[in-house]
């Protein structure tokens, strides 16, 4: 069975099979709806169903509450059409000429950046022209078909390799492998580039970037791209971590202030240890932004890190500081739903 789906605003039209999610069908039609985890966990793909019926699919209650379903919202990464649909989705762009591909890659180098953070440097096949936008992510494909998402930490002009910043998860299957048995020259498979978290270059608005922990990875890709492209817009970059070790590329981030004149870097620690001898900002990283900006209207904000931080940032920046919802871009580091 094939259904028609219309997007509002913008008047885009595409078709979907009954077993396709709204997001899958939109991507197949070259329309990039906002999304991140594609797993019903983060809420980035949430939008309203204005007409028609959907099967809501499997998702977490945190990403879409019963009240939101009642109010007509759905998660387009798991909702499948049960009739023709008219749906409301903002920030829709054309996917353009960057294809999503499945490729092999070789582990080129493993570098410990912090006790629980590994830089995984992946060499891409020389014969393949892999392209991505600064800030996007890839899915590592595990042998049994499961996937693990990681943001690309380098900029697209340097696309012969991919840099990932992997935080070790207690009992984590893939990150356990990265910190345990993985060695140079190992072969992995991945799919990418994925997600709609990338630096928008078609605007002149000042930018605020907020990274929590390894949420620094895509932000690094964006800043390195901004330096390469000579971006003139003011950027205020906040990087939050528990302690000094968590700011695992602090020197690099400090060096960006000289490389990009409009950039200001503000590290923030929430649980600085006495031995950190920290005389910088303290507290929660999104709170530091609230303390510094009485008004975020007219800004563009990029946030990446733990889901709770992303949620707190979205709610307070949009509700208390006047940031437009469609100027808030985020990747929440949710984790893969267990198989079965």
Ligand X SMILES: Cc1cc2nc3c(=O)[nH]c(=O)nc-3n(C[C@H](O)[C@H](O)[C@H](O)COP(=O)(O)OP(=O)(O)OC[C@H]3O[C@@H](n4cnc5c(N)ncnc54)[C@H](O)[C@@H]3O)c2cc1C
Residues engaged in binding ligand FES (CB under 6 A)? 35-45, 63, 75, 77
The only residue of 20, 149, 196, 327 in contact with ligand X, by rule CB under 6 A: 149
| Cβ–Cβ < 8 Å for 315, 221 | no
Q: Is the peptide bond before 164 cis (omega within 30 degrees of 0)?
A: no
Report the candidate in 235, 233, 249 with the shortest Cα–Cα distance to residue 289: 235
Which of positions 197-256 make contact with ligand X (CB under 6 A)?
Answer: 214, 217
166 in contact with ligand X (CB under 6 A): yes
Site string for ligand X, 29-58 (x = CB under 6 A): -------xx---------------------
Q: How far is the CB of 21 from ligand FES (least distance, A)?
A: 9
d(CA 282, CA 294): 19
Question: For residue 179, what are its two tokens?
Answer: 């910190």
Minimum CB distance to ligand FES smaller for 100 or for 227: 100
d(CA 261, CA 80): 47
Q: How far is the CB of 180 from ligand X (least distance, A)?
A: 11
Q: Which region among 73-81, 108-116, 161-169, 276-284 touches ligand X (by CB under 6 A)? A: 161-169
Minimum CB distance to ligand FES smaller for 78 or for 188: 78
Residue 305 φ then ψ, to 5°: 155, -150
One DSSP character per residue, 174-209 reads HHHHHHTT--TT-EEEEEEEE-S-----S----EEE
Residue 335 site contact among ligand X, ligand FES, none (CB < 5 to 8 Å, cut-off depends on kind): ligand X
Site string for ligand X, 301-340 (x = CB under 6 A): ------------------------------x-xxxx----
d(CA 50, CA 46): 13
Residue appearing with tokens 């959907």: 54
Q: Which region among 92-100, 108-116, 169-177, 185-193 touches ligand X (by CB under 6 A)? A: 169-177
Report the sign of the C-alpha dihedral through residues 281, 285, 290, 295, in that order: positive
Q: How far is the CB of 37 from ligand FES (least distance, A)?
A: 4
Q: How far is the CB of 34 from ligand FES (least distance, A)?
A: 8
Residue 75 site contact among ligand X, ligand FES, none (CB < 5 to 8 Å, cut-off depends on kind): ligand FES
| Cβ–Cβ < 8 Å for 225, 201 | no
3-state secondary structure of 277: coil
281 in contact with ligand X (CB under 6 A): no
d(CA 62, CA 137): 22
Q: How far is the CB of 206 from ligand X (least distance, A)?
A: 25
Residue 214 site contact among ligand FES, ligand X, none (CB < 5 to 8 Å, cut-off depends on kind): ligand X
Question: For residue 319, what are its two tokens?
Answer: 């509700």
| Cβ–Cβ < 8 Å for 305, 215 | yes
Q: How far is the CB of 332 from ligand FES (least distance, A)?
A: 8
Q: Which region among 71-79, 100-108, 144-152, 229-237 touches ligand X (by CB under 6 A)? A: 144-152
| Cβ–Cβ < 8 Å for 276, 269 | yes
| Cβ–Cβ < 8 Å for 182, 107 | yes
User: Which stretches of the chain bind ligand X, using CB under 6 A?
Assistant: 36-37, 137, 148-151, 164-167, 169, 171-176, 195, 214, 217, 331, 333-336
């Amino acid at each position: 069975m094939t259904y028609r789906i219309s997007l509002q605003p913008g008047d885009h039209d595409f078709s979907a099979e009954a077993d396709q999610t709204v997001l899958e069908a939109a991507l197949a039609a070259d329309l990039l709806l906002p999304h991140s985890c594609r797993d019903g966990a983060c809420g980035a793909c949430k939008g309203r169903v204005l007409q028609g019926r959907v099967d809501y699919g499997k998702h977490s209650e945190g990403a879409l509450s019963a009240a939101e379903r009642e109010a007509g919202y759905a998660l387009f990464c798991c909702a499948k059409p049960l009739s023709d649909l008219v749906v409301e989705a903002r920030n829709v762009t054309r996917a353009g000429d960057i294809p999503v591909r499945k490729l092999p890659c070789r582990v080129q180098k493993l570098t410990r950046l912090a006790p629980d953070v590994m830089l995984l440097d992946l060499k891409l096949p020389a014969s393949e022209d892999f392209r991505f936008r600064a800030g996007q992510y890839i899915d590592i494909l595990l042998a049994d078909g499961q996937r693990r998402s990681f943001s690309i930490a380098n900029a697209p002009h340097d696309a012969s390799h991919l840099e990932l910043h992997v935080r070790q998860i207690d009992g984590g299957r893939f990150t356990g492998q990265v910190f345990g048995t993985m060695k140079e020259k190992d072969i992995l498979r991945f799919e990418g580039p994925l997600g709609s978290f990338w630096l928008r270059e078609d605007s002149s608005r000042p930018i605020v970037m907020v990274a929590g922990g390894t949420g620094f990875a895509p932000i690094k890709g964006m800043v390195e791209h901004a330096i390469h492209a000579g971006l003139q817009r003011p950027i205020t970059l906040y990087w939050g971590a528990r302690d000094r070790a968590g700011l695992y590329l602090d020197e690099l981030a400090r060096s960006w202030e000289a490389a990009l004149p409009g950039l200001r870097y503000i590290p923030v620690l929430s649980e600085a240890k006495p031995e950190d001898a920290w005389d910088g900002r303290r507290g929660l990283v999104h709170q530091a932004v609230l303390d510094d900006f009485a008004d975020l209207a007219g800004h563009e904000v990029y946030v990446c890190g733990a889901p709770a931080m992303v949620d707190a940032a979205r709610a307070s920046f949009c509700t208390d500081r006047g940031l437009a919802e469609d100027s808030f871009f985020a990747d929440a580091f949710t984790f893969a739903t267990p198989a079965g």
